[in-house]
Amino acid sequence: MTSRRNLPLDGVTVIDLGQVYQGPYATYLMAKAGADVIKVEPLSGEPVRQRNAVSRGSGVPFAMLNGHKRCITLNLKARKGTEILKQLVADADVLLENYAPGVMDKLGVGWSVLHAINPRLVYASGSGYGLSGPDKDNLAMDVTVQAASGLMSVTGFPDGPPVKAGPALVDFLSGIHLYAGVVTALYERTFTGVGRLVEVAMQETVYPTLASNLTFMYDAGTTPPRTGNRHGGLSAAPYNVYPARDGYIAIIGINETHWANLLAAMGRGDLAGDARFSDKVSRVRNLAETDRLISDWTSTLTREEAAAILRRHKVPSAPVRDLIEVTNDRHMHERGMLEWIDHPEFGRIVVPNNPIRFHGAERLPASPSPRLGQHTQEVLAARLRLSEAEIAALCDEGVIGEGA
């Protein structure tokens, strides 16, 4: 019996049919927690891997989300391909997929089939709108779900059109929920001995994030407006992004102590008794004057000068940094969240570690993502006991790729 590594999910086998960002991020978190993640890709590779042909940079997200996984290729449109998947699932703990609802059933490897083969299996399904309901078959991508979920309606400035969030926010938000659902079901299985179907709909993961905006709707009885960088419920001030000599700085004050500290930081203690700013309600009512007061101060300083003063006075704030600055962030590099690696396909790049820290457990160092089909022969030989000749025949038949 092999000794168990000091990693929370060591001994857990995951069959990863995830694609793009949602599914792969969930299984990346599992891999970083110690699970043996076997990534199953079509013979041409999953969509993000295929971006490599467009440009070096467009393929980098694949490297960010697929380290520590073993990659095999498998043609699930071929009968032998689905048979191999069934065999892999027979002694696995988790299967995760984020295809459109019904795709796995059409292939003959949906939840009911795989659960019958392996009752202990946790089957995780990620989709745009869920496995049921009138919208379940709507095509879903991050930006379309941002539109349908209401997220886009409250993003942007009042005099402009709806704006999407800059990052692929919903893909990753739902990927985190998928991870949580899988781990919760694995915990339950320790008591019941039986796995279950876990599903996450992208649209449903967004709604709780709208809490601040919904306060406006319930208070005013109207659709919440787009508020730019101000508070979504227009119920806090200061709460904005203010100009500096070399960019912008975000400043937030949610209580009277923050406001008093900000006045001290700006050298404006004379305004402590000013009725326009005497409490949060007054500052919100006089929002333009509140913001103008702060902007007049920040615009005389650099981002770092303002940030240093605000830190000393314990005012919540942060410079607005660009992605080059963030990629080289000393704090995250020292904590091991970001790591430089020399990737065989992409060169020198930064990849993220697991934001979830398990104190006392091993922390896996960064690892390059695998080549397409890099581990096909290894996995089929070790897990299914297939010979070299059998694997070669599967390649000839188009069931697995030549990269094996």
All domains of the chain, ordered by start, with CATH? 13-207+328-396 (3.40.50.10540), 239-320 (3.30.1540.10)
- Dump pLDDT digits (tens) for 88-132: 999 999 999 999 999 999 999 999 999 999 999 999 999 999 999
Question: Is the pLDDT reported for residue 8 higher than 70?
Answer: yes
CB distance 124 to 198 below 8 Å: yes
Band (52; pLDDT cuts 50, 70, 90): confident
The pLDDT of residue 195 is: 98
Please give the Cα distance from 361 to 135 (Å, whole number). Answer: 42
Question: Is the pLDDT reported for residue 273 higher than 90?
Answer: no
The pLDDT of residue 91 is: 96
Band (301; pLDDT cuts 50, 70, 90): very high
Model pTM above 0.85 = yes
Question: Is the pLDDT reported for residue 153 higher than 80?
Answer: yes
156: phi > 0 → left, psi -120 to 50 → alpha, else beta; which? left
Residues 6+ apart with CB under 8 A from 121: 89, 92, 93, 94, 95, 114, 115, 195
Question: Is the pLDDT reported for residue 38 higher than 80?
Answer: yes
Q: What is the mean pLDDT of residues 254-264?
A: 94
Comparing 169-178, 294-303, 360-369, the range with the smallest average pLDDT is 360-369
Look up 105 and say whether it is catalytic: no
The pLDDT of residue 53 is: 64
Band (54; pLDDT cuts 50, 70, 90): low
The pLDDT of residue 57 is: 79
Q: What is the mean pLDDT of residues 281-288?
A: 93
Characterize the bridge pairing of strands 36-41 and 13-17.
Answer: parallel
Percent of the chain whose pLDDT exceeds 70: 98
What beta strand segments (E) does 80-193 contain?
Answer: 94-97, 122-127
Choosing from 16, 93, 142, 171, the catalytic residue is 171
Question: Is the pLDDT reported for residue 403 higher than 70?
Answer: no
Question: Is the pLDDT reported for residue 1 higher than 80?
Answer: no
Question: Is the pLDDT reported for residue 404 higher than 80?
Answer: no
Mean pLDDT, the chain, whole residue set: 94
